Amino acid sequence: MPAAYAASKENTRGRRYPEAMPSMRSEFQRDRDRVIHSSAFRRLEYKTQVFVNHEGDMFRTRLTHSLEVSQIGRTIARALELDEDLTEAICLAHDLGHTPFGHAGQEILNECMKDFGGFEHNMQSLRVVDLLEEKYAAFPGLNLCFETREGILKHCSRINAALLGDLGARFLNGTQPGLEAQVANIADEIAYNNHDVDDGLRSGLIAVEQLRQCRLFRMHHDAIVRQWPGLASRRLTHEVIRGMINNLVMDLISASRGKIEVHAPRTIADVRNAGESLVVFSPDMADMQLELKRFLRVNLYHHEYVTNMTRKAVVIIRSLFTAYCVAPEQIPEGYRGQDAERDQEYGRDVLQRRIADYIAGMTDRFAIAEYERLFGAQDGHARFFDARVNHL
């Protein structure tokens, strides 16, 4: 049974379009199910986490990442007596608006849209569930509960927050989201840091001895080596990562319980007005997690192999955006048509926003195929994105 300060059907702020309550599910179970059945969720299977999708079946995608986040999130939510279904719904939906080619795709699409309102992947995830999914006769989007939508919107500029009414208010007045949203946010960080370690080691771009610079990795690595001398490298890596995730989750649960006890929230309103996040690591664990995050940024995300892929992704996204602006007939009719609710806030910039919607929804391989179709590239996907080639 969730605690009084958790989100529940009794304290939900409801949906944008009223619906009859589900008979066999909770409101938040319905949200989770709608996310799983969405087109945007299925496309996550072919979107980059770190490595471009065609590079190998063993690397994480946005889909596998989202599933891993949801499992970590549910564990934490259960321990903190929160609503597990809401936590899972947020975790599964948090990357729905991500572009192809990971953060590089987002950054270049934001650059392309700088004169047309910019591009934020959290805002795009919200746009997907509020407007772009087309499944229901009675409303656009998925018509998710307020609490799910606020969890999806992890970050937001003040300019965009001002356009979102109650949903954006916390970015302007400094209040907090519900605890389920706070859990999903940190579960995301735990998942991508540790699983990027796994993918980085598997790819050979980073090495165990490099990672031993990081206290969290070194602590678990050395303990496993002492316990299981001679253990094969893949099993060693798995045991180390498993230990790090467990350590992070248990520390988070313990520190968060302490923080909740200090603030003693009685309602979800008390959580929102606490003045700080109540889902936290201990100071020492926060330092170790940050050290690992910084290591990955320098040694994996900025590795020459990854940055070479990034340069090619930039060319593809920029070229597609420019081509569609010049010849919008190249995009599907559904993205060219008029939809008053979808377009009302963009004025003369409607076409560019529709193009951004179309590009953001692409998978890695579809974006590459579109580039080849429009610009006559003859190389196959793997050759085209071979990181040993420095220039297109």
Domain range annotation of the chain: 27-304
Nearest CA-CA partner of 111 in 332, 359, 327: 359
- Residues 139-154 have pLDDT tens digits of 999 999 999 999 999 9
Q: What percent of the chain has pLDDT over 90?
A: 76
What is the rounded average pLDDT of the residues 89-97? 97
For residues 203 and 193, what is the distance between their CA atoms, to the nearest angstrom? 15
pLDDT of residue 56: 47
Asked if residues 338 and 354 have their Cβ atoms less than 8 Å apart, the reply is: no
What's the CA angle centered on 51, arms 45 and 53, to 5 degrees? 35
pLDDT: which is higher, 81 or 308: 81
User: Cβ of 13: how many Cβ atoms within 10 Å?
Assistant: 13
Q: What percent of the chain has pLDDT over 70?
A: 90
- Residues 270-294 have pLDDT tens digits of 999 999 999 999 999 999 999 999 9
DSSP state of 377: -
Asked if residues 160 and 123 have their Cβ atoms less than 8 Å apart, the reply is: yes
pLDDT: which is higher, 83 or 163: 83
- Residues 288-346 have pLDDT tens digits of 999 999 999 999 988 888 888 888 889 999 999 999 999 999 998 877 665 555 555 55
pLDDT of residue 380: 44
| Residues ≥6 apart with Cβ < 8 Å to 215 | 288, 291
- At residue 59, does pLDDT exceed 80? no
CATH 1.10.3210.10 is held by the domain 27-304: yes
What is the rounded average pLDDT of the residues 75-84? 98
Least confident of 111-120, 328-337, 372-381: 372-381
Asked if residues 173 and 179 have their Cβ atoms less than 8 Å apart, the reply is: no
